[in-house]
Amino acid sequence: MATLKAQNFELEFSYYDLNCCNEIVYALEVKYGGKPFFNPEIMSEYYNEYGKFVFSDCSPDYDWLHAFFVDIVKDRKGGRTGTDEPPNWSFEAITWEDRRPEKEKSWEGKTLAVGQPDGSTTHEPYAEAMKSFIPFWEDNIELKISFPYQYFEPKQYTDWTISFETTFDDLLNFVGEFGEELVKFYKCFAGTITYLGNGKYRETFGHYGLDREMYEIKNRAEWHNLPVDSDEEIVFKQLNGSIENIMRELAQSSIAEDLVKKTFALIETKLEKEKDEKNIRWLTAEKSAIVIVFPQAFTEQQLADALNNVNIKEENVLEETTESSEIKPLSEKEREEREWLFRQTQKYYDEVIALKLQLPKAYLNKGCWLEYLDNNREALECYNNVIALNPDCAKAYNLKGKLLYESKNYQEVVECCDKAIEIYNKDEKYCDKCCNNSANTENIRAYQCKKEDYYDRKNIYYIKGNALFKLGNYLQAVECYKKELSETQ
């Protein structure tokens, strides 16, 4: 925590946390005479349990609030910063350097009557007389903070602003304290972000999986001085969702064999105490998933038992898990909006196809739009047309495999994914020719789908892994999940 003294006020700023986008979350508490200035009873849900305002902004890779105060000290000039998205915070600093031009202009042409020792009066230039006061003004800073109405109950009021008076000496001390907290904060979250200087930072942990979840849980507990569970308890609590998702999380983690065995033992202990039949089936399947992903840590008999027990039926899964994984149908309003968007582009695609230009891209884009409208049957026809025109279009196999997975044609999904992987492996360097040239070009079979980003390859292994799981090929599914992770690194 860093305290900025402003007359009888103390403004306590601190680094609070990182949000889900790894953007810095700040905290602010306002005190007057050492006591909280705001009554907690009028605070809304944005006001945290520690009695502080908590806020952040969509400013990835930029420590904007700390940089704001540092710049004031460096330049001795004010400025303005704040959040671009609601709730809208605003911080404005006004120094003598900001006021100087206006003040000096107002002094022009003015004189000041000055009494002389002999009793006479002379008229001196006003600007000369005011120069003696400048040293007092130069040290003063006006800090205006606009508090968003969303932080207070009731919320029908507009934003309101408090003006605080502080000095450069106090600000310098505050920036020093804030800088010390900056060092501690970035050190605590060093596995997630790295400070680059001048208010800039970058993410250092690319894949968001079990390893990162464990790391962040422990670091947040350390930063807020809170108790933390044992490593095996953390792993157990983070393993949620479907069984294939649990296997995927474990396969893409780097947890040590010792922790694997401790987690396994923890689940066995919970099984001994569990009475509910549904929970028993779930814990058994969860324990089996651990053995399948880490067979080297267990015996051959444990692996054989795990392969028999992991495939629990949907009706045996906890209700909240199955409900969360269901795909909700489009509402009438959503469908109307999507159909309107599709009509804006459908004419172009149909004209291209009718002219027998037979651009694979036209079929591919039309298929994506049809899939967007939940018209999977016609979308599948479009992807098949792309493949017929260009058998080397990995993206078409990728999209087709995803549709087939939704219709539970798991063996065909594996075949589509294998074909896409074969194409990707055949030519690592993707060009942007695929689906952009006409079908009568003699080199059509050489056209490649442009790899917009790594998600195409990553998605193939994810879909294939899930399909293999549904087919009961659990060990192969684990290998696909591991390969999915390797495509992101």
Of 184-193, 380-389, 468-477, 480-489, least confident by mean pLDDT is 480-489
* Together in a domain, 464 and 315: no
Give the gyration radius of the chain's Cα atoms. Answer: 32
Residue 393 in any domain: the answer is: yes
**Higher pLDDT residue, 426 or 286?**
286
Domain holding 351, by residue range, is 332-486
What is the overall mean pLDDT for the chain?
81
Mean pLDDT computed over 425-437: 52
Share of the chain above pLDDT 90, in %: 34
Is residue 243 within 8 A of residue 289, CB to CB? The reply is yes
**Higher pLDDT residue, 368 or 49?**
368
**What confidence score (pLDDT) does residue 176 get?**
95
Residue 124 in any domain: the answer is: no
Give the span between the Cα atoms of 253 and 240, in whole angstroms. 15
Mean pLDDT computed over 238-255: 85
**Residue 235: exposed, middle, or buried by beta-carbon count in 10 A (0-12, 13-18, 19+)?**
buried
Residue 320 has pLDDT above 50, yes or no: no
Predicted confidence band of residue 467 (pLDDT cuts 50, 70, 90) = very high
* Together in a domain, 82 and 159: yes
* Together in a domain, 337 and 413: yes
Residue 430: helix, strand or coil by DSSP?
Answer: coil
* Together in a domain, 242 and 381: no
Residue 108 in any domain: the answer is: no
Helices (H), 189-311: 210-223, 231-238, 243-251, 257-273, 277-293, 300-309
Closest listed residue to residue 164, CA positions, set 91, 103, 96: 91
Residue 217 in any domain: the answer is: no
Residue 393 has pLDDT above 90, yes or no: no
Question: pTM for the whole thing?
Answer: 0.63
Residue 438 in any domain: the answer is: yes
* Together in a domain, 163 and 285: no
* Together in a domain, 245 and 197: no
- Domain final residue pick, 325, 352, 381: 325
**What confidence score (pLDDT) does residue 440 get?**
40
Closest listed residue to residue 83, CA positions, set 107, 104, 59: 59
Of 247-251, 305-309, 323-327, least confident by mean pLDDT is 323-327
**Residue 323: exposed, middle, or buried by beta-carbon count in 10 A (0-12, 13-18, 19+)?**
exposed
Which domain CATH number covers 161? 2.30.31
CB atoms within 10 A of CB 311: 14
Residue 344 has pLDDT above 60, yes or no: no
Residue 487 one-letter amino acid: E
Residue 314 has pLDDT above 80, yes or no: no
Residue 33 has pLDDT above 70, yes or no: yes
**Higher pLDDT residue, 45 or 438?**
45
Residue 196 in any domain: the answer is: yes
**Higher pLDDT residue, 355 or 200?**
200
**What confidence score (pLDDT) does residue 183 get?**
93
Residue 72 one-letter amino acid: I
Mean pLDDT computed over 186-215: 82
Mean pLDDT computed over 107-131: 82
User: Measured between alpha carbons, how far apart are the two ends of the chain, in Å?
Assistant: 36
* Together in a domain, 351 and 320: no
- Domain final residue pick, 325, 340, 364: 325
Mean pLDDT computed over 80-86: 89
pLDDT tens per residue, range 253-274: 888 889 999 999 999 999 999 9
* Together in a domain, 278 and 374: no
Mean pLDDT computed over 63-88: 92
**What confidence score (pLDDT) does residue 108 get?**
85
* Together in a domain, 396 and 436: yes
* Together in a domain, 370 and 314: no
Give the span between the Cα atoms of 444 and 434, in whole angstroms. 8
Share of the chain above pLDDT 70, in %: 81
Q: For the chain, how many structural domains are there in total? A: 3
* Together in a domain, 342 and 478: yes
Residue 471 in any domain: the answer is: yes
**Higher pLDDT residue, 81 or 340?**
81
Residue 178 has pLDDT above 90, yes or no: yes
Helix axes 376-389, 360-372, angle to 10 degrees: 160
Of 108-122, 330-344, 402-416, least confident by mean pLDDT is 330-344
* Together in a domain, 285 and 270: yes
- Calculate the CA 256 to chain-centre distance: 27
Give the span between the Cα atoms of 24 and 178, in whole angstroms. 14
**What confidence score (pLDDT) does residue 442 get?**
38
Residue 356 has pLDDT above 90, yes or no: no
Which domain CATH number covers 363? 1.25.40.10
Residue 115 in any domain: the answer is: no
